[in-house]
Structure formats: C-alpha cells, structure tokens
C-alpha cells in the first residue's frame, strides 16, 4: 500500500471517533449553560447594609449577561456542532456506498475519482470545523469575562462588609477544586476525548446550596448542573459519587459563615463560570484537533489519488483491495460512534429543579427504573 493511502486510511478511521468525542464534550458545556439559564435572580432589597443593596443592579446585569451568553451557546453554537456531527455521519454513509461501488470496478480511474471526491469532502469539513471552533473560542472568551465579573463583584462586596480576603480566596479555590472533581467523575463515567457518549443521558439542574439574602432563601443553580449517563460503565456507582461531591460542595459553602451571603452567592457563580469556560475550552481544542485531522486527510487523499493515477493496473488493483478491506473493517465502528453520540445529544432528558439540592436530585433520578440506573 502506498504511504499516502496508508496515512489517509489511518486518519479517516480516527477522524470519525474524534468528531464523536468532540460532540460528546458539548454535553458537558450544555449542562453548565443550562444551569446558568435556570439561576433565580437574587433580591438584595431586604439586606440591611445599604452599600450592599446598591449592588442589586450590578449583580442582576452580571447574571443577565451570563444567561445571554449561555443562551447563545445553547441556541447557536451547540446546534452548529450537532449539525457538523450529522454531516460527518453522512460522509461515512457515502464512503460505504462508494466502497461498495468499487468492489467490482477494475478501472483505476474509478478509484482515483473516489479519492478526489473524498478529498473535496475533507476540505469542506476542514472549513466547517474551523468555523465551529472559532465560534466556540468566542464563547470561551465570553464565559471568561462573565466569570471575572462575578469575581470582581464578590471582591467589592466583601470589601464593603469588611470581609476577610483570605477566606474569600480560599472559598474560590475550594469551589473550583470540587468542581474539577465533579468534572473528573463525569468524564470517568464516559465523556472524554477518548470515550463516546452513548446510551441514555440526563442533565440534572439543581442547586449547589441555598443562600439567604435579606432573609429569603435563594438556590444557587450556577454550578449545580450535572450530566448523568446510562448505558455506560459506571452507572449507579458514578451517579452516587457525583451526588456525594455535590454534598461536599454544599457543606463547603455552609461552613463559610464568616462571609456575607451575597459574596458566597457571587463566588459560587464565579466558580461555576470557571468550570464552564474550562469545558468550552476543551470543546474548542477538540474542534481544532479535528480541523487538523481533516486537513491531513485531505492532503493524504490527494497524494494517494496522484500515486494511483501514476501506478500500473496491477498495483492500482492491489491498492483498491487494500482500501476496501480497511473501509469494511473501520466503517461500522465509525458509524456506530457518530450515530450513538448524535442520538444521545438529541434525545437528552433534562430535569430542572433549581431550588432542590443537586445531590438529592441525582439520588432521586437513580431510583427510577432503568433509563439511568443500569
């Protein structure tokens, strides 16, 4: 087999899994974005401190802006990613049809034309994937700005009430640490760059904790979203582990009695936005890697077509048979990965109770018959 054709076949086999994995990662971003959309607005009007009350408008604007950015991701950027997933699935369906047509075709020109057609398709996917990566990168920047706004607001209010900056910094770090554990637990259950979202999946939006502002309890939904997976190794065990981590987050916030409630609210939101930005960044990186894969595939397919065009009939027939054997072996897995991921994303169930603790919601969902707990 020519080196160019070998590279093309190897990259083509891997790119389907890369696209499916990138699609799976969007489910984590979707979870965080939905939690922002569900965040109840705080009311500072009952707070005794007049200076803290004056931050009502600033906090509302910050929450509104973060919800606007989350909505942009959910309604514009993620659909682009899912549409790309469907188009790549169609690419592999077409690849299967083309390989069938080549099985009894001895004319080397037919093989050359097939490779050149696939090269054009790879070029189109390079451009489309780069476009989605660019859109996702812009969302990463927007989420980072939102996170900074929450942090700055928390620091200002903390200074107004003569709060200790060291305690505030500790809380920020502790929250981001437990959020990282939650993400790691979800990835361990089946969503990562090397694993594919499959089976039933459910997004649960609860609250990290309830914080009293002016005597009224307010659920903190930002950072209170979690992705539960069914049909993947982990099942109930991973769900219980996630519930326990949300208990840990709740206890962490409850222990910080020396921080003003509004400060805790904003700091929790800031940590949630930090995690959202991280997950969106993972998607952007995966998209860029996939863009590079499509570029390499395009170049390799073009070189392979040139080589076959120059080869004799006997050598061309050998390359055709090698091409068909590899496609027959890899195509079913590529299609399964892409279809499972797309179906899981489209059929995602969402349970939203932003005033109920996320850990309790997870346990309730795990008690239901086997959609999740299997």
- Asked if the structure places residue 112 within a domain, the reply is yes
Percent of the chain with pLDDT over 90: 33
- Asked if the structure places residue 297 within a domain, the reply is yes
Q: What is the mean pLDDT of the chain?
A: 84
Mean pLDDT of 286-310: 91
Percent of the chain with pLDDT over 70: 89
Q: What is the reported pLDDT for 289?
A: 92
Q: Is the pLDDT of residue 149 over 90?
A: yes
Burial bucket for residue 280 (CB in 10 Å: 0-12, 13-18, 19+) = buried
- Asked if the structure places residue 366 within a domain, the reply is no
How many angstroms separate the CA atoms of 147 and 144, rounded? 5
From residue 200, alpha-carbon distances to 29, 186, 341, 372 in Å are: 18, 14, 10, 7
Q: pTM for the full model?
A: 0.86
Mean pLDDT of 291-295: 94
Q: Is the pLDDT of residue 26 over 50?
A: yes
Answer with the residue of higher pLDDT: 342 or 192. 342
- Asked if the structure places residue 235 within a domain, the reply is no
How many structural domains are present in the chain? 1
Mean pLDDT of 326-354: 88
From residue 315, alpha-carbon distances to 88, 129, 310, 331 in Å are: 30, 35, 10, 24
How many angstroms separate the CA atoms of 366 and 374, rounded? 9
How many angstroms separate the CA atoms of 304 and 20, rounded? 26
- Give the angle 160-165-171 at the CA atoms, nearest 5°: 115
Q: Give the strands of the sheet with 201-207, arranged side by side.
A: 225-229, 201-207, 349-357
**What 3-state class would DSSP assign to 252?**
helix
Per-residue pLDDT of 157-201, as tens digits, reads 888 876 667 888 888 889 888 888 888 777 655 544 444 565 567
Q: Is the dihedral of CA 275, 294, 83, 87 positive or negative?
A: negative
Mean pLDDT of 225-248: 72
- Give the angle 35-39-42 at the CA atoms, nearest 5°: 160
For position 328, which CATH number holds?
1.20.1170.10
- Asked if the structure places residue 170 within a domain, the reply is yes
Q: Which residue has the tokens 């079913």?
A: 332
- At 238, the pLDDT band (50, 70, 90 cuts) reads confident
- Asked if the structure places residue 198 within a domain, the reply is no
Six token digits for residue 79:
């659909």
The answer to whether 172 and 267 have CB atoms below 8 angstroms apart is yes
How many angstroms separate the CA atoms of 200 and 21, rounded? 16
Per-residue pLDDT of 39-93, as tens digits, reads 888 888 777 778 888 888 998 999 999 999 999 999 999 999 999 999 999 999 9
Q: Which residue has the tokens 């089976």?
A: 199
- Asked if the structure places residue 223 within a domain, the reply is no
- Asked if the structure places residue 255 within a domain, the reply is no
Give the structural domain span for 21.
Answer: 3-185+273-347
């Amino acid at each position: 087999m020519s080196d160019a054709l070998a590279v093309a076949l190897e990259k083509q086999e891997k790119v389907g899994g890369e696209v499916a994995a990138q699609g799976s990662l969007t489910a984590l971003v979707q979870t965080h974005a939905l939690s922002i959309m569900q965040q109840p607005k705080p009311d500072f009007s009952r707070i005794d401190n007049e200076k803290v009350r004056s931050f009502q408008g600033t906090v509302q604007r910050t929450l509104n802006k973060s919800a606007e950015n989350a909505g942009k991701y959910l309604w514009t950027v993620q659909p682009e990613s899912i549409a790309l997933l469907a188009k790549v699935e169609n690419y592999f369906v077409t690849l299967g049809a083309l390989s069938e047509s080549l099985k009894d075709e001895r004319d080397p020109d037919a093989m050359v034309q097939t490779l050149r057609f696939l090269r054009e398709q790879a070029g189109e996917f390079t451009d489309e994937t780069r476009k989605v990566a660019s859109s996702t990168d812009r969302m990463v920047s927007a989420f980072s700005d939102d996170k900074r706004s929450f942090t700055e607001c928390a620091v200002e209010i903390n200074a107004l009430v003569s709060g200790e900056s060291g305690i505030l910094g500790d809380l920020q770090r502790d929250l981001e640490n437990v959020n990282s554990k939650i993400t790691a637990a979800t990835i361990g259950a089946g969503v990562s760059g090397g694993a594919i979202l499959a089976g039933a999946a459910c997004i649960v939006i609860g609250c990290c904790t309830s914080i009293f502002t002016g005597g009224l309890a307010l659920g903190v939904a930002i950072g209170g979203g979690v992705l539960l997976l069914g049909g993947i190794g982990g099942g109930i065990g991973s769900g219980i582990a996630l519930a326990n981590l949300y208990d840990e987050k709740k206890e962490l916030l409850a222990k910080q009695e020396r921080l003003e409630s509004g400060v805790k609210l904003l700091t929790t939101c800031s940590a949630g936005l930090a995690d959202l930005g991280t997950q969106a960044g993972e998607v952007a990186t995966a998209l860029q890697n996939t863009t590079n894969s499509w570029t390499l595939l395009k170049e390799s397919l073009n070189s392979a077509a040139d080589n076959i065009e120059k080869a004799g009939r006997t050598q061309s027939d050998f390359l055709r048979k090698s091409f068909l054997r590899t496609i027959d072996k890899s195509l079913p897995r590529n299609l399964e990965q892409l279809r499972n991921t797309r179906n899981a994303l489209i059929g995602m169930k969402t349970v939203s109770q932003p005033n109920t603790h996320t850990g309790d919601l997870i346990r309730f969902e795990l008690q239901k018959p086997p959609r999740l707990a299997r």
